[in-house]
Amino acid sequence: MDKITSLIRLRMSAHDAHYGGNLVDGARILQLFGDVATELLIQLDGDEGLFKAYHMVEFKAPAFAGDYIEAYGEIIEIGNSSRKMRFEARKVIVPRTDINESACDILEEPVLVCKAEGTCVTPKEKQRKNKD
């Protein structure tokens, strides 16, 4: 089976900033991983499935309002109904308010914001595509 992946890119808004200095709540990054996981399950099973658990979450760098974040995920192990996944969120564009209020830079090297691993489940009776 080919590797199953998903990638979404979103700009963090002032609404996503939960803390002083326009710092984005880490839960927002996990929400992005949830959206990526849902797409991965749809690709594999034809069903949204359910997120069961995170086994590891590691925040590596802050995300701020105005940052563009790419959330990437891939299925790394497939069981009867469980699907183990790996996720990364990377900052790819940052605002440059030191220059002016609308300046932004594309980062030459994306900055790893968060990485995680988790397991999702698609009950056998809901798996429409992953039939052996």
Domains of the chain: 5-126 (3.10.129.10)
Per-residue pLDDT of the chain (132 residues; tens, 9 = 90+): 689 999 999 999 999 988 888 999 999 999 999 999 999 999 999 999 999 999 999 999 999 999 999 999 999 999 999 999 999 999 999 999 999 999 999 999 999 999 999 999 999 999 998 555
Residue type, 17: A
Tell me the pTM: 0.93
Q: Which distant-in-sequence residues (6+ apart) come within 8 Å of 71 by Cβ?
A: 7, 8, 9, 10, 29, 32, 33, 35, 36, 87, 88, 89
Task: Please give the DSSP secondary-structure letter assigned to residue 85.
Answer: E
CA-CA-CA-CA dihedral for 51, 125, 132, 4, to nearest 10: -20
Residue type, 98: D
Sheet holding 82-95, edge to edge: 5-11, 68-78, 82-95, 104-121, 50-59
